[in-house]
Amino acid sequence: MTPGFANRTDAAHQLAVRLHHLRQAPRGVVLAVPRGGVPLGAIVAKALGWPLEVVLAKKIGHPAHPEYAVGAVSLESVVLTPGLVLPAGYLAEQVARIRQRLQQRHRAYVGNRPPLVLTGRTVVLVDDGVATGHTLLATVELVRQQSPARVVVAVPVSSLQALGRLQAAADEVVCLLAPPNFQAVGQFYQDFTQVTDEEVVAVLHAAEHPPA
């Protein structure tokens, strides 16, 4: 039987236990990667007593090999892999297209509320799992542009290759499983039902307006 998690809630509670040492970190914030990372991020944020934010970023794929990341875009910035030669106008076109989609998702998730400033904060990036790691690696770079005090990546499961890359990029990586037989993130969840945009909005609203 493949070891793993019953569902995202189970994975999040296990992850929160492993992150308990961060509770005393000053000015912490949990950044959840939509959509699957948001339910986990909410549980982790509540356990740490930190605010929950979504981090909206998307990789820029190579024109000949879309799965290969040549950079990434967020609402505020762009990071690029140095030394690449790409067709004229390709990057500008991709950045504009991706940023338009990110702006639409930001409005859907949090309305007009501006993103939290990360300068000087301890940032925990949460996702429900990592396969290639390209997008999460680029997200780490984008977050670092805001000069946080520390960047911690927290995931329930990762491929060994992605884990090594993340450990080189982040200040700390908390990963519960890095199995050699990794094929896909969903392989390690009994229930890996897709998270909808409506669920993301509901989770974010509940985190921002907890019951009295």
Whole-number pLDDT of residue 67: 78
Cis peptide upstream of residue 27 (ω within 30 degrees of 0)? no
Whole-number pLDDT of residue 142: 87
Give the residue ranges of DSSP H helices in the chain.
8-18, 37-48, 90-110, 134-144, 160-169, 197-208
2: pLDDT confidence band, cut at 50, 70 and 90?
low
- 31 vs 55: CA distance, rounded Å: 6
Specify the range with the lowest mean pLDDT, choosing from 27-31, 76-80, 166-170, 190-194: 76-80
Whole-number pLDDT of residue 13: 98
Instruction: Look at residues 27, 28, 23, 4 and name the one whose alpha carbon lies nearest to residue 14.
Output: 4
Query: What would the mean pLDDT of 170-198 be, rounded to a whole number?
Result: 96
Q: Is the pLDDT of residue 212 over 70?
A: no
Q: Are 88 and 68 contacting, i.e. CB atoms less than 8 angstroms apart?
A: no
Q: Is the pLDDT of residue 94 over 90?
A: yes
DSSP code at position 87: -
Instruction: Look at residues 110, 169, 163 and name the one whose alpha carbon lies nearest to residue 142.
Output: 169
Whole-number pLDDT of residue 74: 87
Whole-number pLDDT of residue 3: 77
Whole-number pLDDT of residue 168: 95
Whole-number pLDDT of residue 33: 94
How confident is the model over 64-77, as pLDDT tens digits?
888 778 888 888 88
Q: Is the pLDDT of residue 1 over 50?
A: no
Task: State how beta strands 150-157 and 122-126 pair.
Answer: parallel
What the chain holds in terms of domains, given with CATH numbers, is 8-55+119-208 (3.40.50.2020)
Residue type, position 54, single letter: V
Q: What's the mean pLDDT when you consider all of the chain? A: 92
Q: Is the pLDDT of residue 189 over 50?
A: yes
Whole-number pLDDT of residue 25: 87
Query: What would the mean pLDDT of 154-162 be, rounded to a whole number?
Result: 96
Read out DSSP for 169-207? Answer: HSSEEEEEE--TT---GGGGBS--PPPPHHHHHHHHHHH
Instruction: Look at residues 162, 112, 130, 150 and name the one whose alpha carbon lies nearest to residue 11.
Output: 130
Global pTM value: 0.89
How confident is the model over 30-45, as pLDDT tens digits?
999 999 999 999 999 9
- 37 vs 12: CA distance, rounded Å: 9
Collapse the DSSP code of 66 into the 3-class scheme (helix H, G, I; strand E, B; otherwise coil) and give the result: coil
The residue behind tokens 């990110």 is 102
- What tokens appear for 31 in the block? 């950044």
